[in-house]
Structure 1
């Protein structure tokens, strides 16, 4: 009798253990299907004043259109006031990096964030240093 009870108890514990382990594996295998690209939240108008080495700042407006085109307006503030407008196409790389390419083939990189874009360096890495927080464009519409 004791032997049967021990076998039943062992079988019950084994079944519970296997069931819990399978549930953990199923949860681990379920990929997070939310990516910045799939959300389509990146479409719209972003604004900010980016740092400038020889002016007060660059008032920047980046408009991301739904036809894979963009418009970038850069207004250099201060002594050398000058306004430039670039147009071109864009694509999303790795689900989180917005790559804009103007008509001359020059590229700029931005990390897609909730409600903002963080400008990246030429190596597609976050800009570091004291001015890093100022390389962000905020979504305004």
Structure 2
């Protein structure tokens, strides 16, 4: 009986030690990625402090149509999918772009690579992103609030 208890205790100890070493190696990998990410930027910023990955949606103004439904999905591996639908101009007209994005040196603005048509810069905030103008500036004026995409 004592042998069975001893074997059971030994098995439990080995199982616990194995599970701890696996979680430590995962934590080390995550820490290495986080350290590399944080080394690129100074202090807290959107890239390191926010849960930025996900899908953002909004309808931005359009000069020649009723509005552009914009859906931008940002993936943790720094890939994106941008879908646009032009209301009123040709309801069947939809455009999709896919590619990678990069963070600026401050860690707050992303640039979408390989965008075929339209703006490629966005400022990332808590549960929303701001579409920036062609020069990378925040859009101001009466319609400024219409250039914000919210996280779904």
TM-score, reference length from structure 2: 0.66
Question: Which of these two proteins has the greater Rg computed from alpha carbons?
Answer: 1
Alpha carbons of structure 1 residues 96 and 48: separation in structure 2 relative to 1, 3 Å: same
Moved over 3 A (4+): 103-107
Tell me the equivalent position of 2:127. 115
Where do 1:72-111 residues align within 5 Å?
A: 72-81=82-91, 82-93=93-104, 94-102=106-114, 108-111=120-123
* Contiguous gaps of at least 5 residues in structure 2: 1-41
CA distance in 1, matches of 2:43, 2:66: 42
CA distance in 2, matches of 1:96, 1:63: 17
Tell me the equivalent position of 1:60. 70
Deviation string 1:85-138 (CA, Å, 9 cap, x unpaired) is 111110111211011112669861111111100011122111112111100100
How many correspondences in the alignment? 109
Tell me the equivalent position of 1:71. 81
Query: How big is the alpha-carbon RMSD for the aligned residues of Structure 1 and Structure 2?
Result: 2.0
Is the CA contact 1:68–1:89 (under 8 Å) kept in the aligned structure 2?
Answer: yes
TM-score, reference length from structure 1: 0.70
Higher helix share: 2
CA distance in 1, matches of 2:64, 2:116: 24
* Contiguous gaps of at least 5 residues in structure 1: 1-31
